[in-house]
Every structure is written in structure tokens, then in C-alpha cells.
Amino acid sequence: MTTTAAPATKPANPHFSSGPCAKRPGWSVEVLKGAALGRSHRAKIGKTKLQEAIDLTRDVLRVPADYRIGIVPASDTGAVEMALWSLLGARPVDLLAWESFGSGWVTDVVKQLKLPNAREFKAGYGLLPDLAQVNFDHDVVFTWNGTTSGVRVPNADFIPADREGLTICDATSAAFAQELDFAKLDVVTFSWQKVLGGEAAHGMLILSPRAVERLESYKPAWPLPKIFRLTSGGKLIEGIFKGETINTPSMLAVEDYLDALKWAQSIGGLPALVARADANTKVLADWVARTDHVDFLAKDPATRSNTSVCLTFVDPAIAALDDAGQQAFVKAFTAALEKEGVAYDIASYRDAPPGLRIWCGATVETSDLEALTPWLDHVFAKTKAGLALAA
């Protein structure tokens, strides 16, 4: 490959980070003017905004009316760990992992909670474990979309409707971009800074009636810190699911989340959000199909994410490098893209194979991805040429 002239057009918005993600199109700080700053989140105005965030979440995500939705601290991590610490231990548990964050939940259960009846089903980056081996008489913990591998479950068909155990699903890079089958999910978690481009530090915890029943009938053997407590006197703390948060939320971040939800409604809700993510991913899929130096990390097209799209370099000269060499190439490549102002923060996650991770969620404009791909080719050629000269 020879270097070519720089493309004439740059993405209008070079924010392709997989979290925090790009703000919605047309966003400006003006949308935050109505924030309840300097007011207590327990005052009427604060509780009203928090309840509105819950109600709009239900509407956009199409959450069933009998599922509870709560705003919780510590982003998606906090929401997942609240569920693990509060619900697990009543039954054996099956743990599914095929990337970094799923592996983190395995560590929580096996090494921190030290549950004796935990089974692990793991797969390498780019693959799913054998879902047919999962026992749904057990509780099951999994990520819907592996943010650091670009591999997702294609649907919830592998989960039986008549399961005995609970399904605990980390859906942080899937919610608002992929259809979640809530009838098959007992706990769903996500954070604001992903598909809707909100701000970090706040998580969402969605509970099915079956999950609530578990909370009210089972008491874990270990102590629970205040920040994890969802029950009091054996009953669900209903206030958490009516805007009475466990700890103090940022009302500035709440206002931003409200703006993102209202934008989602204005463009057509969940179907429109999914369609935008799919269209964005198609731009990259078409580019990969005509490009000989990259490929999807996800092996099966049916499992490829439409948000955190992970790519690997298959050019023989790059693939021949050892891991350190490939990491150095990715660092040089992404630094050059950032210097040109065409793509920020698109290197693969630190635990993943060296490559790229390009966010295609609904807040990204398709036209920006179309402008990005020629730059990916141009900068690849220059970076590879530099590698050859250095050799």
C-alpha cells in the first residue's frame, strides 16, 4: 500500500469513544439551563426530575409496567454489583464471559463473594461461549453486548421463559441501541454515558417482579454496605424506584440525561435509535469488506455489536508483529488520527487484542463515519510506511 493525499473531508464530530460517548446531535450547554442546581435532590423539584428520568427511560426502552427502574450510584458497575451482592447465593450461578467486563463479574462472584456453586463459561475475544450449556435453573450473569470485544448475544432465544433462576444482564452498551427482551431478563443494568451520550457516574437498575420477589424472600449471608441495600425490613425500598436515590446524584447530569431521553423520543424512540446504530455499523462493515488490512474481531456476523465495533489489523506486516509491536503500531496510528482531529479514543481496550474500537451508537452521525473511513486508510498507509522505514 502506498500513501495517498489526505482526504478533503473530516468528520464534523471526531468523538468515537466507547464511553463516555458522543453527545447527541445538536447538543450544547444551553440544554442544561433548566438543571436544578443548588437544590436538594430530595426537594420537590429534584424528585420530580429524577422521577421524570425514570418515566422517560421506561417509555424509550419499552420497559414493562411491572418492572422497577432505579437510579443508582457508581455507573453500570455500581448497578451490576448491587445486583450481584443482593441477589446471588440463593441458587447456584452460571457466569458467562467473553471480554473484560464479563470477566470482571466472574471475579466478583468467584473471588469476592466466593460462591461455591459458581460455574464459569468463558470464550476468547471475538467469540461467544456455548450458550446451550447454561443451566437456567441456576442464576445466570452475562453481558448483552461485550463492550471490549464487539461481540453481543444475537437475541434472548437461548433463555427459556420458564427458567427457575434469575438472569442478571449487564446491558450498558446495548440499551438504547439493541432490542432487549425484558421478558427474558430479571435484572438489567446500564449507564448514562453510553448509547445516549449522557454523563458518567450514574447507573440504572431495572428489576423484574421475580427479582423483587428474590430480594424480599432471601437475605445474603454477607453484610451489605448501605450503598448496596435495596431492602429494609425484608421489603423493597420502593423510594429508590421513585426518584429517592441512595446517595446524592448530580442534578446537572440528570438534566443532561433528560435532554438525551427527550431527543430519543423526538426522533422516534427505540426503533429510530436502533436504526441509527445499525446504519452506522453498516458504514464500517462496508469499509471492512473493501479493505484488506482490517477485519472484525467478532468472528460471527450475527454476534457483531452495532455500538462498540471492534476491529483487528490483518495486514501481514502488522499481524507478524509481536503483541508489543502491534500495541505500538495502534498507539502510533490512533495518535496520528487524533493529531489530524478526525478520531479520538478509538484504540482497543487495554485488555483486548491490539486493534480499534469505534463507537457506532445512536448519537454518532452516519456522515461522520463515512468521512472517517478514508482517513483510516490514509493514516494506516502513512503509519505502516513509517514502520517500514524504522525497520
Q: Which helix (H) or strand (E) holds 168?
A: strand 167-170
The stretch 283-301 carries a mean pLDDT of: 97
Reduced DSSP (H G I as helix, E B as strand, rest coil) percent helix, strand, coil of the chain, to 5: 40, 15, 45
pLDDT of the residue at 348: 98
Alpha helices, DSSP H only, in 24-160?
44-61, 75-87, 100-107
Residue 329 · residue 1 · CB < 8 Å? no
Percentage of the chain exceeding pLDDT 90? 97
Residue 351 · residue 362 · CB < 8 Å? no
How do residues 223-245 score in pLDDT, each as one tens digit?
999 999 999 999 999 999 999 99
- Give 239's DSSP letter: G
- Residue 20: asked if its preceding bond is cis (omega within 30°), the reply is yes
Query: Given pLDDT bands bounded at 50, 70 and 90, which one contains residue 390?
Result: low
Residue 343 · residue 333 · CB < 8 Å? no
Classified as helix, coil or strand, 94 is strand
- Give 352's DSSP letter: S
Average pLDDT score, the chain: 97
pLDDT of the residue at 1: 46
pLDDT of the residue at 3: 53
Query: Given pLDDT bands bounded at 50, 70 and 90, which one contains residue 4?
Result: confident
Percentage of the chain exceeding pLDDT 70? 98
142 phi and psi angles, rounded to 5 deg: -160, 160
pLDDT of the residue at 135: 98
3-state secondary structure 284-349: HHHHHHCCCCEEECCCCHHHECCCEEEEEECCHHHHCCCHHHHHHHHHHHHHHHHHHCCCECCECC
- AA identity, residue 226: K
| Residues facing residue 176 across a β-bridge | none
Q: Return the sign of the alpha-carbon dihedral for residues 222, 226, 228, 233.
A: positive
How do residues 355-386 score in pLDDT, each as one tens digit?
999 999 999 999 999 999 999 999 999 999 99
Domains annotated on the chain, with CATH: 29-265 (3.40.640.10), 269-390 (3.90.1150.10)
Residues counted in the chain: 391
Spatial distance between the Cα atoms of 140 and 133, rounded to a whole number of angstroms = 12
Classified as helix, coil or strand, 184 is helix
Q: Which helix (H) or strand (E) holds 96?
A: strand 93-97
> Residue 2: pLDDT above 60?
no
How do residues 60-117 score in pLDDT, each as one tens digit?
999 999 999 999 999 999 999 999 999 999 999 999 999 999 999 999 999 999 999 9
Query: Given pLDDT bands bounded at 50, 70 and 90, which one contains residue 387?
Result: confident
> Residue 133: pLDDT above 60?
yes
pLDDT of the residue at 187: 99
Give pTM, 2 decimals: 0.97
Spatial distance between the Cα atoms of 352 and 364, rounded to a whole number of angstroms = 23
